Structure 1
Amino acid sequence: MVDTFSTVLKILLRRKTNSSPVGGKPIPQKSLSVVDITCLGLSTTIGTGVYTILAHTAREYSGPSIVLSFLIASVASGLAGLAYSELCTRFPSGGSAYCYVYSILGELPAFLIGWSLVFEYFLAVILSTKSITNYMNYLLNDTFANSFTYNVFNDSNGGIFFDIPSALLLLLIGYVLTQNLKNSCIYNNILVFICLLITVGILLSCLSLADCDNWTAGPGFFPNGIVGIFSGAAVCLFVFNGYDIIGLLSSECRHSYQNTTSAISLTFVLSLMTSFSLSIAITLLVPFSLLETNASLIKIFVTRGLNGMKYFVIMGAICGLISSTIASLLSLSRLLYCLSNDGLLFTFLSKYESNSGVAKCATIVSTVVCAITCIPLQTTTILNFIGTGTIFAYMTVTLSILSLRYCRTENLPSDSCEMLLRENSYIDIRENSLHNITQSISDYYLNKRQTILKSIANDSQLIEELPNDNCLSETFCNCIQSDRPLNCSHHHSYGSLPTARTLSVELINQTVITSVSNLSLTTRQEPTVKSEKFVLVILPIMMATMFIMAITTVHMPNLLPVGIQWSLQLFSTLLFIVICVCVALMTGQPRHHVSTSNNSMPCIPLLPICSIWLDIHLIVCLPYTSWLAFLIWCLFGIFVYMSFGVWNSVQALDGLQPLDSIECLETIDGDDCNAHEDYQYINELALIETSDESQEFNICDIIVGSSV
């Protein structure tokens, strides 16, 4: 019985061991720049966040304190952004929270996170598209509402609005996305730049007419108290899902391990500035009770008598919301492609066209399903469902960071191209290396590889003595694909971060980071079996205590009489003490230390625990409708996984039929690498830049030992 349970647990928690293209599948085009993925990450905030979520949250939850709600949401997203930055650097092959959790925590948790993000992106696509229709309907004096409203059930309150225009618009956007990824990103960049310019104009107009009485009159600045602020922050966090969008498209980006972290930092700064400033300006312009869900920004200017501003606002709304639709639909299709590529969903969704960089089947299916679903759904219904998937994704990404630091070395995941990088001892392989080859070097075999590398570098000090084991087989090919530095080390491990520093968000000064990060109650440097099991026990206890404390502080005061509120405060204090003790015990456990000068998350475990704590509190503050929709969707997802995914997973097939050959890149002339019984040949073209000069070589026919 125990053996059966252990076997089932190993199957459900098996981890992804190879993130590179397998089975002859095409390699990503890598045509995107840092501007492209930054605009994609920013699209949801300046589109759905500004023109839909802001007014709805201020009216229903926070009131003028929506300013603080956006600030709390940005803090939660910023902490998650630190985790995304480290994981994007450690796993340069790219991926969303689903891919990172798959490599670190296991298959079933990864599928549930991926499945919940599918639901979140699905709702984001529908919400942004229907918001466009709402703005156009207001501008056209309810023409859409009068033309497509049908009284199906003989309702005395009116009929149901069947949103045919949204479906047609969504089909048009889906068609554009199926043509070419780079062109779609160019269109999105133009829309984002226009929207940002219009947003600045709206901000200046609102501040010129600001009335401070709108923050103090009536219910005041806190109409629903602290609970209203956190409830609004839980909804606002939905618009800060740009990090996951960036991660999904990072495999298509040049120099992904550098550009991804820069894009995450830029997205955080621009999203915070845009949402925070506009929330101040709009709540100062009109009382929050006058804000409406549909076409809110146009109506507030009409209310203040600025009728000419509605044409200016409608242009920004259309640009921002179309951009949000592009980013969400592109992310949805790419996530379905990742799930299918791993064997967890139907195989036909994994078809990828390397010439255009588009997963066409996944894009078509996503577009059609969203177009059909958006016809009967109403905007208010969608707003009651959003938020849960994004918060769970951010929380699991932070949990993955803790797992990496506190698990034993032999349990660390190893990305197929991840290697330990030595300071000043690596060769940088550029992304254009496969297209700039002018000469070739052939007939160099495995026993001469040290001579080859030294001759390329022209400096024996640059490359140290190489080990005799195979270090150029799969690592060499995958490093070329993922733009990672190639370095041979005497031992394979999880890998440190590149020494080159990229644009990152500095939240704490270096002195504090160093002192807190090195805090430990033991002199042992590496995690042991005992410490790993201890953290595995203490972390769920701490998270359960956080959840109980959130329930106690958010929902219990409404159920108990005022006279015994002191008991809740006492109980919350005891729970807080338990959490502090758990944090202290966890801090004293040995962990892997990573240099804080790179893109690693600082202050382990304090910052990850703060992030998890905040995420748990925000989850509790979500409306019950969001919880109900999320649980139903997850139950459906478990059924899909148990009936299809667990049997067709690529990891399961790899376990039954190990690959007899490594994956090699195609040559320029189209010839593939030929696998032999005992040897494989890497016939690849590469541009290797040394520290002194740049030379071009054709490295071919390098024999590497078989892994079998």
Structure 2
Amino acid sequence: MNNLFKKILRKKNINHKHPAHLKKCLSALDLTLLGIGCIIGTGIFVLTGIAAANQAGPAVILSFVVSGFACAFAALAYAELSSSIGGCGSAYGYSYVAFGEFFAWIIGWILLMEYGMSIAAVANGWSGYFNNALTAMGLSLPEALSKAPSLGGIVNLPAMVIILIIMSLLIIGAKQSAKFNAVMVFIKLLTITLFISVAMFNVNPANWHPFMPYGWFSTLPDGKTVGVLAGASLVFFAYVGFDAVSTAAEEAINPQRDLPKGIIGSLAFCTVIYIIVSLLLTGVVPYQELNVSSPVAYALQKIGFQWASAVVSTGVIAGLTTVMLVLYYALTRIIFAMSRDGLLPHSLCEVNKNTNTPIKVIVYCGLLISLIAGFIPLGTLAEIVNIGTLAAFVIVSLGVIFIRKLHKNNKATFKNKWHPLIPLLGIFSCGALMFFLPVETWKRFLIWVLIGVVFYFTYSIKHSHLNKKPA
């Protein structure tokens, strides 16, 4: 951490003689793999089919390109701030330095929603592929135990169980979790390679016509938004993850050098993969048929490759596990940072001496999110995640403008090549994608923010270390 962040941290911990800290143990490769492990998941393995069938058609490829550009600007902003400020709170920590405590609290509150709902959403996708694998073995679960109540079931039991398993893994330690993530990322990339190798020889160009059945953007009589831009606001979920790398700043061995590499490298690699997979997926199966919970495996079944479908399902199960692992990791580190500042109960930043992990917050999050995953369906969760993520990206891009005024003489800071325009483009592109989200999603988002404002003025402002007088 540089001098600027240290000054802020000293103020926040003025009454704490022994503030909690995390162990530095993650390399540039660990950070890049964390990013890839989190980014490649539900977005490409599940939401690609849903967005193609319901919103964009084969032009879902363009939806990924639009979302990728918006994320690129945000990623460059994250890279600059992570190398300048550090800390384990991601956008929350950056906002603290740029805008002060109240705005930092709001963005931190939004991040809690983003990451919490993300984990639950990915668990839903994981459950779909897991049940497909069981069905292939003749052991499928009844609908009552594999679907949320709004979808005709009682509870999504596999989604709940996998979150509790991930909870146990995170308790062990960050480095051990990173090693597990690296293995799972390798399996996931092998799975994608298998799909590409099979699908590229079975493409039917007729499936790409019409390429843009809904145009760029339009509204149906029932009020539903469709088109490439509407699809972009949904598949944006596929890019959630690169920002999770920045939450590992306090555990990075050399954050100023390695965080920008991890953020930008993971995003660039995954964008190329997304474009290839979505192009092939809509090429081998008519897009109207892809509104299923496991479109990649379904596509391979449709073209007669049952064995490949089974292997891909197994690989996807492993891959989605890494997504939950990294998102869960990021969520606990944000809560850790907010608790250390006094904005959340202090017990949430207590670090276990044996594992060097904040066990209490890991357990609390696991129990709550497992309930959300069990009772709320994927589509609703994904939209909530997207609006929270986009709001965070807008604020981070805006934060770059303010931080640059404070960092004019910082030679160690990562600088964007076109640095005057990057934050402005990030604000515009991410703000535009927020516009295309459904009205109901906006209502849920604003209600969540309002609850956060009430919590701040009834609890956080009274316990904040920044507002306490020196002892």
TM-score (norm 1): 0.61
SS of 1:137's equivalent in the other structure is: helix
Q: Does 1:613 align with 2:428?
A: yes
Is residue 134–residue 295 contact of structure 1 (8 Å, CA) maintained in 2?
A: yes
SS of 1:366's equivalent in the other structure is: helix
CA distance in 1, matches of 2:158, 2:237: 25
CA distance in 2, matches of 1:158, 1:198: 29
| Corresponding residue number in structure 2 for 1:318 | 317
Q: Does 1:128 align with 2:138?
A: no
SS of 1:642's equivalent in the other structure is: helix
Aligned residue among 59, 71, 76 for 2:53: 59
Is residue 144–residue 152 contact of structure 2 (8 Å, CA) maintained in 1?
A: no
Deviation at 1:159, TM superposition (A): 4.2
Deviation at 1:303, TM superposition (A): 1.7
Residues 361-400 of structure 1 mapped to structure 2, 5 A cutoff: 361-400=360-399
In structure 2, what residue type is equivalent to 1:43?
Answer: G
| Corresponding residue number in structure 2 for 1:646 | 461
| Corresponding residue number in structure 1 for 2:172 | 179
Is residue 20–residue 350 contact of structure 2 (8 Å, CA) maintained in 1?
A: no
SS of 2:130's equivalent in the other structure is: helix
In structure 1, what residue type is equivalent to 2:457?
Answer: M
Higher mean C-alpha displacement, 598-607 vs 186-195: 598-607
Q: Which has the larger radius of gyration?
A: 1
CA distance in 2, matches of 1:189, 1:622: 34
Deviation at 1:256, TM superposition (A): 1.3
Residues 327-338 of structure 1 mapped to structure 2, 5 A cutoff: 327-338=326-337
Residues 244-643 of structure 1 mapped to structure 2, 5 A cutoff: 244-353=243-352, 355-405=354-404, 407=405, 412=406, 495-498=409-412, 599-643=414-458
Render the CA deviation track for 1:174-218: whole Å, top value 9, x for unaligned: 0111111111111011001110111111112111111111111xx
CA distance in 2, matches of 1:299, 1:308: 12
| Corresponding residue number in structure 2 for 1:19 | 9
Runs of at least 4 residues off by over 4 Å:
149-152
In structure 2, what residue type is equivalent to 1:304?
Answer: I
CA distance in 1, matches of 2:124, 2:242: 24
CA distance in 2, matches of 1:149, 1:294: 12
Deviation at 1:150, TM superposition (A): 9.9
Higher mean C-alpha displacement, 335-344 vs 290-299: 290-299
CA distance in 2, matches of 1:71, 1:158: 31
- Give the superposed CA RMSD: 2.2
- Percentage of identical aligned residues: 25
| Corresponding residue number in structure 1 for 2:145 | 148
Is residue 34–residue 245 contact of structure 2 (8 Å, CA) maintained in 1?
A: yes
Q: Does 1:160 align with 2:153?
A: yes
Deviation at 1:342, TM superposition (A): 1.0
Deviation at 1:149, TM superposition (A): 7.0
Aligned residue among 56, 65, 68 for 1:71: 65
Deviation at 1:312, TM superposition (A): 1.1
Is residue 20–residue 340 contact of structure 2 (8 Å, CA) maintained in 1?
A: no
Q: Does 1:109 align with 2:103?
A: yes
SS of 2:466's equivalent in the other structure is: helix
CA distance in 2, matches of 1:343, 1:233: 37
SS of 2:216's equivalent in the other structure is: helix
SS of 2:375's equivalent in the other structure is: coil
CA distance in 2, matches of 1:92, 1:139: 42
| Corresponding residue number in structure 2 for 1:205 | 198
Aligned residue among 632, 644, 657 for 2:470: 657
In structure 2, what residue type is equivalent to 1:210?
Answer: V
In structure 1, what residue type is equivalent to 2:142?
Answer: A
SS of 1:111's equivalent in the other structure is: helix
Deviation at 1:92, TM superposition (A): 3.3
Is residue 89–residue 497 contact of structure 1 (8 Å, CA) maintained in 2?
A: no
CA distance in 1, matches of 2:398, 2:104: 12
Q: Does 1:225 align with 2:38?
A: no
Unaligned ranges ≥5, structure 2: 218-226
Quickly say closer, same or farther: Cα 1:380–1:615, change in 2 above 3 A.
closer
Aligned residue among 94, 98, 104 for 2:92: 98
Deviation at 1:93, TM superposition (A): 3.6
Deviation at 1:239, TM superposition (A): 2.5
SS of 2:326's equivalent in the other structure is: helix
Quickly say closer, same or farther: Cα 1:173–1:196, change in 2 above 3 A.
same
In structure 2, what residue type is equivalent to 1:195?
Answer: K
Quickly say closer, same or farther: Cα 1:146–1:612, change in 2 above 3 A.
closer
In structure 2, what residue type is equivalent to 1:241?
Answer: V
Deviation at 1:90, TM superposition (A): 1.1
In structure 1, what residue type is equivalent to 2:212?
Answer: F
CA distance in 1, matches of 2:377, 2:30: 31
Render the CA deviation track for 1:232-265: whole Å, top value 9, x for unaligned: 2122222323332111012101111111111112
Is residue 385–residue 625 contact of structure 1 (8 Å, CA) maintained in 2?
A: no
CA distance in 2, matches of 1:356, 1:208: 49
Is residue 293–residue 380 contact of structure 1 (8 Å, CA) maintained in 2?
A: no
If asked which structure has higher relative contact order (CA below 8 Å, sep 6+), I would say 2
CA distance in 1, matches of 2:196, 2:170: 31
In structure 2, what residue type is equivalent to 1:196?
Answer: L
Higher mean C-alpha displacement, 636-645 vs 227-236: 227-236
Is residue 124–residue 328 contact of structure 1 (8 Å, CA) maintained in 2?
A: yes
CA distance in 1, matches of 2:265, 2:312: 25
Quickly say closer, same or farther: Cα 1:307–1:347, change in 2 above 3 A.
same
SS of 2:351's equivalent in the other structure is: coil
Is residue 497–residue 600 contact of structure 1 (8 Å, CA) maintained in 2?
A: no
Deviation at 1:94, TM superposition (A): 4.6
Is residue 96–residue 244 contact of structure 1 (8 Å, CA) maintained in 2?
A: yes
Render the CA deviation track for 1:117-158: whole Å, top value 9, x for unaligned: 111111111111121211122232382234627999xxxx98
Is residue 115–residue 385 contact of structure 2 (8 Å, CA) maintained in 1?
A: no
CA distance in 1, matches of 2:354, 2:114: 29
| Corresponding residue number in structure 2 for 1:49 | 43
In structure 2, what residue type is equivalent to 1:334?
Answer: R
Is residue 148–residue 155 contact of structure 2 (8 Å, CA) maintained in 1?
A: no
| Corresponding residue number in structure 2 for 1:519 | none
Is residue 88–residue 94 contact of structure 1 (8 Å, CA) maintained in 2?
A: no
In structure 2, what residue type is equivalent to 1:177?
Answer: L
Deviation at 1:398, TM superposition (A): 0.9
Question: How many residues end up aligned between the 2 structures?
Answer: 451
TM-score (norm 2): 0.90
